[in-house]
A and B are shown apart, each in its own frame.
Chain A
């Protein structure tokens, strides 16, 4: 029993403990709160890097604790969980910087940062879960702790958004609970196993397993915003920008997508899934979501809502890559988990900057905004180009792998979906970029806050630039050993081991 084994627990605690202390500190202790946030974020990155190093050398990190007889709470670190937890840790740091700048002088900051930190622990917990029950526990904690963030402003719209959010996610959680209890009563404990654990143990009733698969996907699909379970996401955009950025672009929706990948690969197993014939269904659902999300995004004038629909569409790339079920496509889907996170958070940061600094919320009011805020719009442009899938940006790598994976698996119709989606990505993102850079401003900005030397508060400016450069870097250095792409290949090679 060494400290090593407890690393997964330490990762969860490194944001949970600061979160709890922040509640106790109260509203006024601003410096202590900021220090705690940063210490937590840096600790988390440190612990995660230790585990990255270890897992690469085949160390096993596992914490197990019995809840009741035969039901364990278990955390472990496998390559896939590390991919997600690394993403969360890095983006938490960025978002913390951003949130400090964004919420300056607004009320209820202690509550905000407290729940924010606990949300991050919940998503780290989701990433590190070693079985479905543990996953469910953190999944529900994530639901509960996101709620106060969504309704943070307390306006009628915020409360409405919160209500819709809860209606969807709590029902989703109930469906998930049903599926997990059912599956457990049939096959016993469900630990995530590379390659799946059901294939051998199952004989007989396939229809039951199709039902369970459907319920699991429905439960995760709510958070992953699969159509028609996506309704909460655009409504939750009433939340403050850091929340939309981290939680609705990364933590919450990714938790759903992550769950789908886990179910297909580590519970059912790809082969068993294709035997059941459920992968095609998932691929179709994902494709419909991709097309529908993009289509709706085109018609949104509210910038954050447009990005929200874009998220709906883009997150389903992950489910699509999973459902196509071939090494290449899976690599594409998994790496998109990281890439989409980086790109989308950049876009949300930028949108938040425009709203916070200039009071601009609508796409139609963005004319010439790049003259006033060039750095923000530069970040936005990089993110947008990446989304569309232009090289050398992250989105290009994802789409390349997804496309070639589809061809490899003999499902060329998927490439059509990708092409259609790419065209629509361009339709809803490029006009923003064009009007921001090349049109003349219509007049003075609605609420122009002067922030001194820079175009906006420095804390608001650094994070989008950071994530934008990461968007480029992960693509340019995709072939190096530390890139997300390489890590995704590492994951896939283990999933497809004979």
Chain B
């Protein structure tokens, strides 16, 4: 199997499977799981190619930039593809059980039928996005991603979920417009959308600055950075649990990935210190605000959703921290690794939450009293995912925070040091609110039996998020390949 087949397979196989799943609904679940397994294989192969050959470019149809469409893969994109594959595999496994439950599926037969095609198309869009080499392609894939995400949010069919989906539709569409406007502006000036060519030519006069602002605003809206997060909690909390896992774990990372690419590859030579500091401060505000809101929630899934608002904040610290050359390497790696470990932990948390909500038949945290005795595996999975959210050792998030802390100290930005540590403490409060509740003694109604896959999949994923703290050298080695020139020079 050649490199070309691998990279195309990552995009085309889920797309084809999605279409097939739409037509042959009966075998959709089997098809999705098989695709997921194949994708994991492809993803690791792709990483293997990158590790042995360095960054690779594939010209579709042999046309090449600036006319044709290029695919590009380096360490960062390969890592993102692996992250998507593993989380996707877990979500597929979980969903086979989740949607087999009458109350999630059979009663709304159409919903199940539509979940699998959406899921697979979303996957295809994610991979295409991570493998794009030009900023217009990024727009197309982002749009495809958004459309499937909107449908996933509305999948539950309740009034609340439809409202949330509609709100997300409006926000995401206007965000896309901002982004597209920025791209158009750049194209009109430089006549290319390939980011390498752009990066080499950018001048940073007025049109360029306008383009940067437009692109940033569009991406911030999609990534739900505070104070543009208002659409997120309702959207992520009202979707079915597997969909929430995808939305929080992966979809947000896609728009963040685009911003990270733009920042370090397309505008690395711009003096964006002030904008970077602003993003960093918004990130810090997100950490505090999101965590405090999470602590105040009464519903389990809303708590997890607000935790996402907080955790997204950590990612944005990189734009401020990396402006100091001495800190940029640690900051960039920390942010990239954080998005991977957060994807695992958050997807696990949402899936565990989904299982707990099913077991108790209630979305309220107070109704979890004493559930640890009856659902030990799921509670354990939630707690382990919580360790990943708190960033305590030995989780992957701990190493990311270690890198970010190092960056904040070596750049002398004490404010961020304090916020990172405070964020961990606040996360501990909201995670242990749930865990403590589940330990409460007393008589409780017997819970419903949770299918084995719905118990163990979150646990395995949570264990993976912990494991990321133990096997970090390989992924970090991968990240070095094709890392932005702007940061590569520093130790």
Chain A contacts to B: CB under 8 angstroms: 23, 66-69, 71, 107-108, 111, 136-137, 140-141, 143-144, 147-148, 151-155, 158-159, 162-163, 166, 170-171, 173-174, 177-178, 181-182, 184-185
Contact = CB atoms under 8 A, between A and B. Distances in A.
Given A163-B432, A170-B428, A140 B439 contact: no
Across the A-B interface, give the 7 residue pairs with the lowest CB-CB distance, nearest first.
A154-B441, A137-B393, A181-B405, A174-B421, A151-B439, A185-B409, A170-B428
Nearest to A169: B428
Given A151-B439, A159-B439, A67 B399 contact: yes
B425 A184 contact: no
6 contacts: A68-B402, A108-B373, A159-B439, A171-B425, A178-B421, A181-B406
B440 A159 contact: yes
Most chain B beta carbons < 10 A, residue from A136, A144, A182, A184: A144
Contacts of A181: 402, 405-406, 409
Interface string B179-202: 000000000000000000000000
B275 interface: no
Contacts of A166: 428, 432
B75 to A, nearest CB: 14
Interface string B413-424: 000010001001
Nearest to B326: A185
A69 B421 contact: no
Contacts of A67: 399, 469-470, 472-473
Contacts of B387: 144
Contacts of A151: 436, 439
A153 B441 contact: yes
Contacts, number: 80
A173 B391 CA distance: 11
A162 B372 CA distance: 15
B410 A170 contact: no
Contact of A137 (B394, B403, B441, B472): B394
A143 B393 CA distance: 11
Interface string B423-447: 0110010001001100111100000
Contacts of B435: 147
Contacts of A71: 402
B370 interface: yes
B177 interface: no
B433 to A, nearest CB: 9
Given A68-B399, A147-B435, A182-B409, 16 more contacts: A66-B473, A69-B476, A111-B372, A111-B376, A136-B393, A143-B392, A148-B439, A151-B436, A159-B439, A162-B439, A170-B424, A170-B428, A171-B425, A174-B421, A178-B417, A181-B406
B417 to A, nearest CB: 7
Nearest to A154: B441
Contact of B392 (A107, A140, A152): A140
B306 to A, nearest CB: 19
Given A66-B473, A153-B441, A174 B424 contact: yes
A144 B384 CA distance: 10
Nearest to B442: A154
Contacts of A23: 376, 380
Contacts of B392: 140, 143-144, 170, 173
B358 to A, nearest CB: 22
